Structure 1
Amino acid sequence: MVPVLVLYLVCIGAAALAYLQRWRRFKAMDLPPGSLGLPLLGETLQFIRYTKSNRPWEFIEQREAKYGKIFKTSLFGSPMVMVSPPQGNKLVFSNHNLLVETAWPSPMKTLVGSNAINFMSGEEAKSFRDVLMTFLSAQAVQSQVVPTSNMIQDHLHKHWKHGETVLAYSLIKQALFSVTCCAFLSVSDEEEQLELLEPLAKIIKGLISLPLDLPWTNFHHAKKGRVELYKMFDKYIARRRIELENGSSCQQDLLSLLLSTKLDNGKLMNDDQIKDNILSLLFAGHDTSSSSLAMTLKCLAQNPACYQELRREHMDILSAKQPGEELNQNDLRKMKYTWMVIQETLRVMPTGFGILRKALKDVEMDGFTIPKGWQLLISGYRSYRKPEFFAEPFKFEPSRFAEGTGPVPYTYIPFGGGPRICPGIQLAKMQVMVFLHHLVTRYEWTLVEPDEPVSYTPVAMPTKGLPIKLK
């Protein structure tokens, strides 16, 4: 017993000594100003409070007013520095695997899984990305336009009725999840899709939370949701693997791709890699698109002239088609104003709060040193709300994204930047454009709750479900 106690005390002493040595090193550096908050917790509780409020940018603006353009904080157990655009954003995006690597809050790695491409680096990440891009490239997405269009039309016919008040956010999530389930897993049964959506919703709710595995916490419910979802994935993987081996599968979906494509090392993905990456893409491909589409509906209702301009574009596309003719890739290329509307929505109401990177070595920035191992936090709120980057920043003005114009480089970052830019841009763009086409050629709408708050858990979400009146 005594030797064990001695060993325990030695370990505690060694950990304390290492901690003191680390902080002596930090004190010798010219760290950015700011506060690291409470031990372990840092400023996480304040951050969560702001992201769940209707004013998430205040977390940044209050600290920027106090400390300046670059400041330190601590979130989810990690010390980090908020960098400033455009120079800070450029430095981070231009030096992936040189000065920085991808980083995520600790709850995300636990819940999404360490095998997801989000957490890979170097050659492994490149190999996985090459595989995924055979499914997510602009050319590959073209083949999904018609089935996506048909599913959205069926959904609108079934669930959106003129004269009714509907909770738009939940219906959008349901529609885009159906599209994503078909594209990723070839699951078309609505009840089966809802069975998948329930545990996924638990996981998403726990992504930005304190990683406390206690029965009443969102993190605990999210871990249980992950177990439930992976049991369903196991069934799909086992069944599809047998079909592929027998040559009886004709599915050209993401699951078949992941099961049959070899990585650069010549090996097939194992089940854990497949499940983690499907979960990661389900979240990225469905939840973020649902958020951006819901926020677009909100912005269009608040800006009737923009709605009318958008509707003119889509009615022109519709009037040029033959009766029964399907929407196609050429039609999407004509949706120039639509893309401007989506881009402006992502500026006014960003889908996510920010992007994290981890310093691979000591990084010099704006006259300060960011120590190796610290995280760098980039947020669109640092530029989207500032007139030096966007004229009249609080005005919804899609034409600011017209061809031949555009923002200052490294100030508009809804999809990230550099080699780790979001691989699903084309898929998300297609889904949102197709949905808007069928919606605006059928309806206009008004907000039942014009002042409805928006929270980030972890993506922008209308707290009351975005009730709208259709007409």
Structure 2
Amino acid sequence: MGTFLEKHCSRYGKVFKSHLFGSPTIVSCDHELNTFILQNEGKLFQSSYPKPVLDILGKLSIMLVSGDLHRKLRSIAVSFISVSRTKPDFLHYVEKLSTSVMESWKAHQEVSFYKEAKKFTLYVMLKYVLDIEPEDPLAPKILEDFLTFMKGFVSIPVYVPGTPYAKAVKARARLSSTLKEIIKEREKREVGHVKGDFLDEIMQKGNLSDEERVSVALDILLAGYETTSGLLGLVVYFIAQSPSVLQQLKEEHQALRRRKKDGEPLSLEDYKEMEFTSNVISESLRCGNLVKFVHRKALQDVEFKEFLIPAGWKVLPILSSPHLDPSLHNNPSQFDPSRWADSDQAISKKVSPFGGGLRLCPGTDLAKVETALFLHHLVLNYRWKTKVDESPISCPYLDFNRDLLLKIEPIENRSVESVGKSCLLLQFTDKRFQPVHDLTIGVEFGARMVTIDGRPIKLQIWDTAGQESFRSITRSYYRGAAGALLVYDITRRETFNHLASWLEDARQHANPNMTIMLIGNKCDLAHRRAISKEEGEQFAKENGLLFLEASARTAQNVEEAFIRTAAKILQKIQEGVFDVSNESSGIKVGYGRPQGPSGSRDGTVAQSGACCG
């Protein structure tokens, strides 16, 4: 909430008097009073922003005008945004640009995400407001002007060349000039030749002057750019701090992608099914406080409960304060999307991240749709980490210490990601389940002593990466393995389809007497089953494999899978199938080893590695 507000609320209560922005001011951190102020816009209160905001936004900005003019301009903006967010071509463009961003990151290990988010959101809006593509030379120029534009909002309003205020005023003038030139060009074109974007729509409205057209177009660009980029930044920041939330988010989008054909675009119906994603977005808005406060002025003496607000005084409803109020939310400082799962959505009445009343941000729904579609591709294509000292800050607009610098790693092959090999191994060696587990890089190792037929057996297990880029490394480990666990995910058909390739690899590079156990992992998710148990059994039978379905999460059949594999290897040793004097067999028999569970000091080491994916 900030040191100033915390100190004053502690000393004076949630509503107090101060002198801010050159005026006597009532500051409200009270949810009920804030709601009252926002709902009485135009009756008891009106918009009243400082001089830098007035000069930079212009006198016709939707944020600043009142009465009939505000209603006219806002209705145009709301109508366009409401229609756009449901159009298939808009959704397809957002998705196309999202995948383009994902592709552009592949050569990088770090990205300044907040800068990338601003570029992405502005380019989406440029396409649908002015029909300008990212490749157009105008696009980066407009982006640069908007970045300059935003820095001027909190500057000292002294017009001295080189100051943030002067730069912002000039940037606004350049943006206005650019839009006027585009309007002039379109007025010259032939009748009936329209592009169908927002500018075309408002040019067809005879009740708007050119100045009003320019102003409302800039407002739409600003609303779609600043609101959505801020929301994207908050969501990515918070889920990076919450691995379990990220895992649940990935599972929702993986399930959605499995229902789609290859290359099939997302639809509005898909967006509506992103329930957990919606909860993550809402919780990010509650915790992140995209809009900290708004500026209002009392039109007359206003009484609310025990408070008297004198006419002409500024009023600052602090929208972020109720979001972190323990009297309104349990553990308010904790990022917990599950608090939004309640079907009656009572919490939504206690959260107002975009303001409210007549001046509710028109870009709200658009921001949520764009964020959800972008997240779909982000969580399926990348893993990321934030820097330790990274955090959102209020300037009072949202910003990040390091532009939200992310360390990123592409998920190279989603078809083999997260079948659960490492989780199976961890459950077997440590008797625990780790819901969020980084992909195996190369080869990892595990070991455990077991007793089979009264004999102590030490299993040395190699957990190999399932990604294609590591196959050349993992193949070398097959040669010294006596057994292998070939794992697929019963909820994902593509992992089952890859089994033949992995099996061929193992048999080509491993001991011909290797024992192979086929494991259908995640049997606790039988309600999402994509491969029947009979299919698994049939594949195992046709290829001479052992077979079990197991669950790393619940530990079902995990012990049995490893023990059965080890028992089969021991049987082969006893039958003389393996030449135990040959190190390449993957078996060592010796004495003087640490005591096994039976107390005997002789033991067998079986290298049952190659947990293939």
Shorter-chain TM-score above 0.5: yes
Aligned counterparts of 2:271 and 2:391: Cα–Cα separation in 1: 32
The one of 369, 372, 379 equivalent to 1:433 is 372
User: Could you tell me which amino acid in structure 1 is paired with residue 69 of structure 2?
Assistant: E
Paired with 2:176 and 2:392, the residues of 1 have a C-alpha distance of 30
Residue 291 of structure 2 contacts residue 354 of structure 2 at CA under 8 Å; is this kept in 1? Answer: no
- Residue 313 of structure 1 corresponds to which residue in structure 2? 252
- Size of the aligned set, in residue pairs, is 407
The answer to whether the 8 Å contact 1:103/1:356 transfers is: yes
Q: Cα deviation per residue 1:320-371 (whole Å; 9 max; x = unaligned)? A: 0011211110110011111111111111111122122221111113423212
Q: Which of 382, 386, 394 does residue 456 from structure 1 map onto?
A: 394
Distance 2:320 2:359 in 1: 20
Measured on the aligned residues, the alpha-carbon RMSD in Å equals: 1.9
Secondary structure of the residue that 1:247 maps to in structure 2? coil
Counterpart in 2 of 1:125? 70
**Is the counterpart of residue 196 in structure 1 residue 135 in structure 2?**
no
Q: 1:233 to 1:457 in 2, by over 3 A?
A: farther
Q: How do residues 346-385 of structure 1 correspond to structure 2 at under 5 angstroms?
A: 346-385=285-324
Pairing partner for 1:443 from 382, 406, 416: 382
1:20-69 deviations in Å (ceiling 9; x for gaps): xxxxxxxxxxxxxxxxxxxxxxxxxxxxxxxxxxxx52221111122222
Q: Secondary structure of 2:46's match?
A: strand
Please, which of 260, 267, 270 is the counterpart of residue 204 of structure 2?
A: 260
Distance 1:71 1:227 in 2: 38
Q: Deviations over 1:207-263 (max 9, x none)?
A: 1222121224211111111122222112111112223x63222x121111221124x
Q: Cα deviation per residue 1:146-202 (whole Å; 9 max; x = unaligned)?
A: 111112212221x22277111111111111111111011111043321111111111
Give the drift of 1:120: 2.0
Equivalent residue in structure 2 for 1:65, among 6, 10, 25: 10
Cα distance in structure 2, aligned partners of 1:138 and 1:411: 28
How many Å separate the matches in 2 of 1:92 and 1:200?
Answer: 30
Change (3 A) 1:139 1:466: closer
On the 8 A contact 2:227/2:363 being kept in 1, the answer is no
Which residue number in structure 2 is paired with residue 329 of structure 1?
A: 268
Please state how far the C-alpha of 1:299 moved relative to its aligned partner. 0.6
Q: Are 2:408 and 1:466 equivalent residues in the alignment?
A: no
C-alpha contact 2:123 2:133 (8 A) present in aligned 1: yes
Q: Which residue of 1 aligns with 2:81?
A: 136
Shift of 1:409: 6.6
Aligned partner of 1:238 in structure 2 is 184
- What is the deviation of 1:453? 4.0
Which sections of structure 1, spanning at least 5 residues, go unmatched? 1-55
Task: Report what 1:29 is aligned to.
Answer: none
Deviation at 1:303, TM superposition (A): 0.3
Equivalence map 1:270-289=2 (5 Å): 270-289=209-228
Which is higher, the Rg of structure 1 or of structure 2? 2
| Structure with a larger share of its residues in strand | 2
Moved over 6 A (4+): none
Unaligned runs of 5+ in 2: 410-613
Alignment of 1:53-202 (within 5 A): 57-137=2-82, 141-143=86-88, 144-157=90-103, 159-161=104-106, 164-190=109-135, 191-202=137-148
1:413 is matched with: 352
**Please, what TM-score do these two structures have when normalized by structure 1?**
0.82
Identity %: 30
Given residue 314 of structure 1, which amino acid in structure 2 is its aligned partner? H
- Does the 8 Å contact 1:380/1:411 carry over to 2? no
SS in 2 for 1:118: coil
Task: Tell me if structure 2 keeps the 8 A contact 1:288–1:459.
Answer: no
- Partner secondary structure for residue 137 of structure 1: helix
Change (3 A) 1:169 1:154: same
Q: d(CA) in 2 for partners of 1:328 and 1:366?
A: 47
User: AA paired with 1:73?
Assistant: S
SS of corresponding position for 2:19? strand
Match of 1:342 in 2: 281
SS at match of 2:316: strand
CA–CA distance in 2 between the matches of 1:57 and 1:457? 11
Pick the structure with more helix per residue: 1
Distance of 1:139 and 1:154 partners within structure 2: 21
Give TM-score scaled by structure 2 length: 0.64
The code of the aligned residue for 1:149 comes to: E
Secondary structure of the equivalent of 1:119? coil
Partner of 1:52: none
Pair 1:242–1:77, CA change in 2 (3 A): farther
